[in-house]
Protein backbone atom coordinates (compact mmCIF):
# COMPACT_ATOMS: atom_id res chain seq x y z
CA UNK A 1 0.00 0.00 0.00
CA UNK A 2 1.43 3.39 -0.96
CA UNK A 3 1.54 6.26 1.48
CA UNK A 4 -1.30 7.97 -0.37
CA UNK A 5 -3.43 4.81 -0.33
CA UNK A 6 -2.75 4.41 3.39
CA UNK A 7 -3.85 7.98 4.07
CA UNK A 8 -7.06 7.47 2.09
CA UNK A 9 -7.84 4.19 3.86
CA UNK A 10 -7.13 5.80 7.23
CA UNK A 11 -9.42 8.76 6.52
CA UNK A 12 -12.12 6.34 5.37
CA UNK A 13 -11.81 4.39 8.63
CA UNK A 14 -11.99 7.61 10.67
CA UNK A 15 -15.12 8.66 8.77
CA UNK A 16 -16.75 5.28 9.35
CA UNK A 17 -16.20 5.66 13.09
CA UNK A 18 -17.44 9.25 13.15
CA UNK A 19 -20.59 8.37 11.21
CA UNK A 20 -21.47 5.43 13.46
CA UNK A 21 -24.26 6.40 15.85
CA UNK A 22 -24.32 3.50 18.31
CA UNK A 23 -22.01 3.42 21.34
CA UNK A 24 -18.69 1.62 21.15
CA UNK A 25 -17.17 -0.54 23.90
CA UNK A 26 -14.87 1.50 26.15
CA UNK A 27 -11.79 -0.67 25.50
CA UNK A 28 -12.29 -0.31 21.75
CA UNK A 29 -12.57 3.48 22.07
CA UNK A 30 -9.33 3.63 24.04
CA UNK A 31 -7.47 1.66 21.39
CA UNK A 32 -8.93 3.86 18.63
CA UNK A 33 -7.96 6.94 20.61
CA UNK A 34 -4.35 5.85 21.04
CA UNK A 35 -3.83 4.75 17.44
CA UNK A 36 -5.54 7.87 16.09
CA UNK A 37 -3.36 10.15 18.19
CA UNK A 38 -0.22 8.30 17.11
CA UNK A 39 -1.32 8.21 13.45
CA UNK A 40 -1.95 11.96 13.41
CA UNK A 41 1.09 12.88 15.53
CA UNK A 42 -1.22 14.61 17.98
CA UNK A 43 0.54 14.35 21.30
CA UNK A 44 -1.65 16.77 23.23
CA UNK A 45 -2.56 15.78 26.75
CA UNK A 46 -5.89 14.04 27.32
CA UNK A 47 -8.48 16.66 28.19
CA UNK A 48 -11.31 14.84 29.91
CA UNK A 49 -12.84 16.50 32.95
CA UNK A 50 -12.54 13.17 34.77
CA UNK A 51 -9.02 12.30 35.97
CA UNK A 52 -9.67 8.55 35.68
CA UNK A 53 -10.49 8.92 31.97
CA UNK A 54 -7.27 10.88 31.46
CA UNK A 55 -5.35 8.11 33.21
CA UNK A 56 -6.81 5.46 30.89
CA UNK A 57 -6.07 7.60 27.83
CA UNK A 58 -2.52 8.26 28.98
CA UNK A 59 -1.99 4.54 29.51
CA UNK A 60 -3.35 3.79 26.03
CA UNK A 61 -0.95 6.34 24.52
CA UNK A 62 1.94 4.85 26.46
CA UNK A 63 1.18 1.43 24.98
CA UNK A 64 1.60 2.69 21.38
CA UNK A 65 4.67 4.85 21.94
CA UNK A 66 7.06 2.54 20.08
CA UNK A 67 5.20 2.17 16.80
CA UNK A 68 5.47 4.32 13.70
CA UNK A 69 2.82 6.65 12.36
CA UNK A 70 2.14 4.28 9.44
CA UNK A 71 1.86 1.28 11.79
CA UNK A 72 -0.67 3.25 13.85
CA UNK A 73 -2.71 4.03 10.73
CA UNK A 74 -2.68 0.39 9.64
CA UNK A 75 -3.72 -0.83 13.08
CA UNK A 76 -6.48 1.77 13.29
CA UNK A 77 -7.81 0.63 9.90
CA UNK A 78 -7.68 -3.02 10.99
CA UNK A 79 -9.50 -2.26 14.25
CA UNK A 80 -12.28 -0.45 12.40
CA UNK A 81 -12.62 -3.10 9.70
CA UNK A 82 -12.73 -5.91 12.26
CA UNK A 83 -15.25 -4.07 14.41
CA UNK A 84 -17.68 -3.57 11.56
CA UNK A 85 -17.09 -7.09 10.25
CA UNK A 86 -17.64 -8.90 13.55
CA UNK A 87 -19.95 -6.62 15.56
CA UNK A 88 -23.15 -8.12 16.84
DSSP string for residues in 17-31:
HHH--SPPPHHHHHH
Q: Which fold has domain 3-18+25-86?
A: Acyl-CoA Binding Protein (1.20.80)
Q: What is the pLDDT of residues 34-83, one digit of tens each?
A: 999 999 998 777 777 888 888 999 899 999 999 999 999 999 999 999 99
In 3D space, the residue among 3, 4, 16 whose CA is nearest the CA of residue 77 turns out to be 16
88 pLDDT tier (thresholds 50, 70, 90): low
Spatial separation of the C-alpha atoms in residues 61 and 7, rounded to whole Å: 21
In this prediction the pTM is 0.90
1 pLDDT tier (thresholds 50, 70, 90): confident
Q: What residue ranges do the domains of the chain occupy?
A: 3-18+25-86
Amino acid sequence: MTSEELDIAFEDAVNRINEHTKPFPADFLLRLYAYYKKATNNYGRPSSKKPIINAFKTNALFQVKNITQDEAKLTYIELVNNYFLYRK
